[in-house]
Amino acid sequence: MIRWIDRRLGVDSWARKGLRKVFPDHWSFLLGEIALFTFLVLLATGIFLTLFYRPDATPVVYDGPYEPLRGREVSAAYESVLRLSFQVRAGLVMRQIHHWAALVFVASIVVHAARVFFTGAFRRPREVNWLVGVGLLVLALMMGFTGYSLPDDLLSGTGLRIAYSALISIPFIGPYLAYLAFGGEFPTHGIIPRLFVMHVMLFPALLIALITAHLAILVQQKHTQFPGPGRREDNVVGKRLWPSQVFKSTGLMLLTAAVLAVMGGLVQINPVWTYGPFDATIVSAPAQPDWYMGWLEGAIRLFPPFEPQIFGVTIPAMFIPGVVLPGVFFTLLALWPFLEQRVTRDMAEHHLLERPRDNPVRTGIGAGALAFVAILTLAGGNDVLALMFNIPVEAITWFFRIAVLVGPVVGGYVAYRIARDLRDGATPAFGRKRGVMLRRTPGGGYEEEGS
C-alpha cells in the first residue's frame, strides 16, 4: 500500500525525513500543541453543530419540550439551538464541549504566547511566526465572539449591541461602518446570517491557513531550545519525532479531548434557555461575556465619563476603551519583536531560549501587561463582585480605576526586581530564596557559587 503511494507520489523519503525530525523536550513546548488539539476538537464538534443550527432571525413560536418558553415568540436561530440542546441526541454534550473548547482554545493560545514572550522565542529569525501567532490570537477572539453571538439569546444580543456601539463610536466613519456591518441600525435581522458565515467559513478558513503557515515556519526554522550541555545556537538537541514524540503528542491530543469531553458532559455552560431569547428592550443583570472579552468589558466599565467635542466632532466615551485600547494593544503586541530589536540593537539570530530572569526588563514589561489585562478582566465583573462582597458597585469601580493604573506598574516592577535579583544570584527582594548555586570543588566537595 505505502509502496503503491510512493511509486506515484514519491513521498516515502520525505515522510521518513519528517519522522526523524529532532524535537527538543520541554513541558512548555506542549502549550501550543494544546491550542492546536483544542482547535481540532472545535472543528469536529463545530461541524456537528452546523448541521443543526439555523442562521435565521425570523420569529417563530416555540413549541418544543422546554416548558417555560413554550408559546413564546423566539427567532428560528434560538429555536434551533434549543432543539439541538433538548431534542437532538448527543446535541447538548457536543454544544457544551464546543463552548468549553472555545474557552480553552483562547486560554491555551494566551499561555503559549506568554511562554514565547517570556523566553524570547520571538527573536530573530522568528519575528514572522510571532506575527502569524498574533493573527491567530485575534482570529481566535473573533471566532469566540461570532460563535457565542449565534444562539441569538439575550446575553449574546447584549454583546452584539455593545460591539455595534463601539463600531459607531469611531469618528467620521463609525456610523457607516456600523450600518455596513449590521445592515442598518441595531438590532437587525441580517446580522445572524452574517455572523454565521464569518464563524463557519471565513474565520475557520483563515485560521487553518494561518495554523498551516505557523507550523510550516516552525518546521523550516526548527525548534528553539533551552541552553544546556551540548546545546548551542547552531544545533538542535532532542528526541526524534518517531516514536516517542509522536506518541506523546497523540497522547496529549487525546487527553486534551478527554478533559473537554468530561467538562462538556458535567459542567453546564451558556444555558441559553435560562437567558431567554433576544429582546431589544430587556437586558439581564449581571451580564458577563466569555472570559477573553472581559478585559474590554472592564475597560469600557472603568473608563471615566469623558466625551469631548473637538472642532464639533464628538469623541464618544466608547471610542477609547472599545476601539483605541484593543487597537493599540494588539499593534504593540504584534510589533514587540521589532520594538525590542530597536531598543536593544540585538539583530543576531537566537535559537537558544532565555529564562525570564535572563531579561528582567522584558519580564517586567510582560508582567505589567498581564497585570493590566488581569485587572481589567476583574473590573469587567464589577457588578458580580459587588453582589458577592456586598460592596457598592461605585466603590468597586473606583478601586479598579486606580488599580488599573497602579497595578501594572507595581506588578511590573516587582517582576523586574525578582528577575534581576535571581539573575544576579542575590537573595530576591521579594519572596524567599529558593535555592543556591553549587560548584564542584577540585577536591570533590561542593561550595556555594560566589562564596
Partner 1 sequence: MLVRLAFAASMVASIALVVLYLRGGERTAEGVLLGVALGGLGLGITVWATRLMDPPEVEEAREPLASPDGKSLVDMLRDEEDVTRRVVLVRMLLGAAGTLVAALAIPTLSLGPAPGSDLGRTKWRRGLRAVGADGRAVRPLDIPLEGVRTIFPEGFAGEPDSQAVVIRVAPGLLELEGRRAEWAPEDCVAYSKICTHAGCPVGLYRSAAHELLCPCHQSTFDVLRGAVPLFGPAVRPLPQLPLAVDEEGYLVALSDFTEAAGPSYWNIERSDEL
Q: Segment 249-278, which members bind partner 1 (CB under 8 A)?
A: 250-259, 261-266
Tell me the C-alpha distance between 135 and 206, whole Å: 9
Considering beta carbons, is residue 126 or 362 the nearer one to partner 1?
126
8-16, 102-110, 228-236, 432-440 -> range binding partner 1 (CB under 8 A): 228-236
- Check residue 234 for interaction with partner 1 (CB under 8 A): yes
- Check residue 284 for interaction with partner 1 (CB under 8 A): yes
Contact 424, 433 (CB under 8 A): no
- Check residue 236 for interaction with partner 1 (CB under 8 A): yes
- Check residue 16 for interaction with partner 1 (CB under 8 A): no
Question: Which parts of 139-158 interact with partner 1 (CB under 8 A)?
Answer: 158
Q: By rule CB under 8 A, what count of residues binds partner 1?
A: 98
In angstroms, what CA-CA distances link 359 with 176, 348, 421?
46, 16, 11
2-10, 136-144, 237-245, 328-336 -> range binding partner 1 (CB under 8 A): 237-245
Can you tell me which of 65, 68, 125, 227 binds partner 1, judged by CB under 8 A?
A: 125
Question: Which parts of 304-363 interact with partner 1 (CB under 8 A)?
Answer: 304-307, 309, 312-318, 321-322, 349, 351
- Shortest reach from residue 341's CB to partner 1, in Å: 17
Q: Is 15 helix (H, G, I), strand (E, B) or coil?
A: helix
Question: Which parts of 186-215 interact with partner 1 (CB under 8 A)?
Answer: 186-187
Considering beta carbons, is residue 282 or 409 the nearer one to partner 1?
282
Considering beta carbons, is residue 282 or 436 the nearer one to partner 1?
282
- Check residue 285 for interaction with partner 1 (CB under 8 A): yes
Can you tell me which of 247, 342, 439, 447 binds partner 1, judged by CB under 8 A?
A: 247
- Shortest reach from residue 422's CB to partner 1, in Å: 28
- Check residue 282 for interaction with partner 1 (CB under 8 A): yes
- Shortest reach from residue 1's CB to partner 1, in Å: 23
Contact 17, 231 (CB under 8 A): no
- Check residue 237 for interaction with partner 1 (CB under 8 A): yes
Q: Which helix (H) or strand (E) holds 22?
A: strand 22-23
Considering beta carbons, is residue 9 or 285 the nearer one to partner 1?
285
Tell me the C-alpha distance between 450 and 425, whole Å: 9
Considering beta carbons, is residue 394 or 449 the nearer one to partner 1?
394
Can you tell me which of 80, 96, 119, 359 binds partner 1, judged by CB under 8 A?
A: 96
Considering beta carbons, is residue 283 or 406 the nearer one to partner 1?
283
Q: What is the number of residues in the chain?
A: 451
- Check residue 180 for interaction with partner 1 (CB under 8 A): yes
Considering beta carbons, is residue 9 or 51 the nearer one to partner 1?
51
Pairing of strands 73-75, 309-310: unpaired
143-151, 171-179, 330-338, 369-377 -> range binding partner 1 (CB under 8 A): 171-179
Considering beta carbons, is residue 125 or 431 the nearer one to partner 1?
125
Residues with Cβ within 8 Å of 211's Cβ and at least 6 positions away in sequence, in order, are: 36, 39, 136
A 10 A CB-CB count for 87 gives 13
Question: Which parts of 48-87 interact with partner 1 (CB under 8 A)?
Answer: none
Contact 352, 226 (CB under 8 A): yes
Pairing of strands 73-75, 59-61: antiparallel
- Check residue 238 for interaction with partner 1 (CB under 8 A): yes
- Shortest reach from residue 394's CB to partner 1, in Å: 5
Contact 304, 401 (CB under 8 A): yes
Q: Is 102 helix (H, G, I), strand (E, B) or coil?
A: helix
Tell me the C-alpha distance between 1 and 17, whole Å: 19
- Per-residue b/e over 54-82, b at no fewer than 16 CB within 10 Å? bbbbeebebeeebeebeebebbbbbbbbb
Tell me the C-alpha distance between 439 and 204, whole Å: 53
Contact 276, 78 (CB under 8 A): no
Contact 160, 167 (CB under 8 A): no
- Check residue 385 for interaction with partner 1 (CB under 8 A): no
Residues with Cβ within 8 Å of 137's Cβ and at least 6 positions away in sequence, in order, are: 106, 109, 110, 113, 330, 333
Contact 53, 84 (CB under 8 A): yes
Can you tell me which of 60, 287, 335, 384 binds partner 1, judged by CB under 8 A?
A: 287
Contact 14, 2 (CB under 8 A): no
Can you tell me which of 31, 97, 101, 376 binds partner 1, judged by CB under 8 A?
A: 97
Considering beta carbons, is residue 151 or 321 the nearer one to partner 1?
321
